[in-house]
Amino acid sequence: MRSEYMHWAKTQAPVRFHLASSEVPHFRLDRFPIDIADLELDGASRYRYPPLRAAIARKCGVSADRVVMADGTSLANMLAMSALLSPGDEVVAEHPAYEPMTATAEHLGAKLRRFTRRGPGFTIDLAALEAAVTPATRLILLTNLHNPTGNLTDEATLRGVAAIAERVGAYVLIDEVYLDAATPRPQSAHLLSERFVVTSSLTKCYGLSGLRCGWILAAPELAERMWRLNELFGVAQAHPAEQLSLLALERLDEIAADTPALLARNRALANAFFESRNDLEVAPMVHGITAFPRLRHRDVDELNARLRADYDTSIVPGRFFGLADHFRIGVGGPTDTVEEGLSRLGAALDAAR
């Protein structure tokens, strides 16, 4: 098995106005006093590097025995699902969905069922989830903020999801990599129920993708199972990256200081753009970095090809998330880049008429 989306994303030619990006600008750690001698490039494994594990626990409001470190959110999702699933287990996934999560479940031999998020806002429909879950369901897959739409699932709905999972004895895996883009910042779902296993990283909301600092939050016994399982995958993380991740976590407020204002400006630009278009259908952006408009009466792949060829601009076709008449855009870039990208998207839509 493989991820068609990730292969596509990594093999596209670069463009200047990258609306396909789904993260904030990269943050340069060299603005902090870092000496190469401090990074201990001696090859020694710092097993479960306790200072970093404790820093992640403090950020998330949990005890350190609930934290499993992983190389990014993608490996965190793989580790979590590998610990929670056996071949033939039933998994219920949201639709539209982040394709690497469902591809991982299928890779592990799971039988996939779907429930559809509701309306143009793509909110979780508890009745639809209840109908999709069976006594055989072992895991429910969600993202919050939702990828691709950026929708925030509120605490009351999450408690409803937990109740459904509890009734059938299932866990709920929630990818929260975008959650810190919401204003005000919600608490992690893991704090609401032992049924919730949560993954995240310093990637999307902090511009630190190169560190590959990801984690899982799970009950202690389950977390221990995931630690032991990771000895089959990564053995240990690169220790200099662990040290840089610790430095970043200790300065996270400084790193993210400009992000809320940046995202507020860019969401306002996107919402004004959406409001001006009668060829797009999309709920206004309130939280997050991404939006997922429906393109009326046009072909999304043709639009993307035109954008790349004639406008030096990119989007993500919605077929990778299960809806071919939609596309995902990201507004996490510098404001002038997002503004010009939206202008070029408008020009391409006008030309397609």
- Residue 140 has a pLDDT of 98
CA 137, CA 133: separation in Å to the nearest integer?
Answer: 6
Kind and range of the H or E element at 328? strand 327-330
Flag whether pLDDT at 344 surpasses 80: yes
The more confidently predicted of residues 143 and 231 is 143
Q: How many CB atoms lie within 10 A of CB 9?
A: 16
Average pLDDT over residues 322-348: 98
Q: Which of these CATH numbers, 3.40.190.10, 3.40.50.720, 3.40.30.10, 3.40.640.10, describes 34-254? A: 3.40.640.10
HSE-CB at 220 with a 13 A cutoff on CA atoms is 4
Flag whether pLDDT at 41 surpasses 90: no
Average pLDDT over residues 20-37: 90
- Residue 353 has a pLDDT of 77
What average pLDDT does the structure give for the chain? 95
Helix (H, G, I), strand (E, B) or coil at 174: strand
The pLDDT tens digits of the residues spanning 246-258 come to: 999 999 999 999 9
User: Is 0.85 surpassed by the pTM of this model?
Assistant: yes
Whether the Cβ atoms of residue 151 and residue 114 lie closer than 8 Å to each other: no
- Residue 293 has a pLDDT of 98
Alpha helices, DSSP H, located in the chain: 4-11, 50-60, 72-84, 99-107, 126-132, 155-168, 220-230, 239-250, 252-255, 259-276, 300-311, 335-352
**φ, ψ for residue 148 (rounded to 5)?**
-110, -5
- Residue 349 has a pLDDT of 97
Question: What are the residue boundaries of the structural domains of the chain, listed by start?
Answer: 4-26+257-352, 34-254
Q: So what CATH class is 4-26+257-352?
A: alpha beta
The residue written with tokens 């408008």 in the block is 346
- Residue 1 has a pLDDT of 74
- Residue 43 has a pLDDT of 66
Whether the Cβ atoms of residue 310 and residue 348 lie closer than 8 Å to each other: yes
Flag whether pLDDT at 205 surpasses 70: yes
Flag whether pLDDT at 345 surpasses 90: yes
Which residue, 99, 130, 104, is CA-closest to 116? 130
Average pLDDT over residues 11-19: 95
Flag whether pLDDT at 37 surpasses 80: no
- Residue 33 has a pLDDT of 84
Average pLDDT over residues 116-129: 95
Average pLDDT over residues 212-231: 96
- Residue 159 has a pLDDT of 98
Whether the Cβ atoms of residue 13 and residue 307 lie closer than 8 Å to each other: no
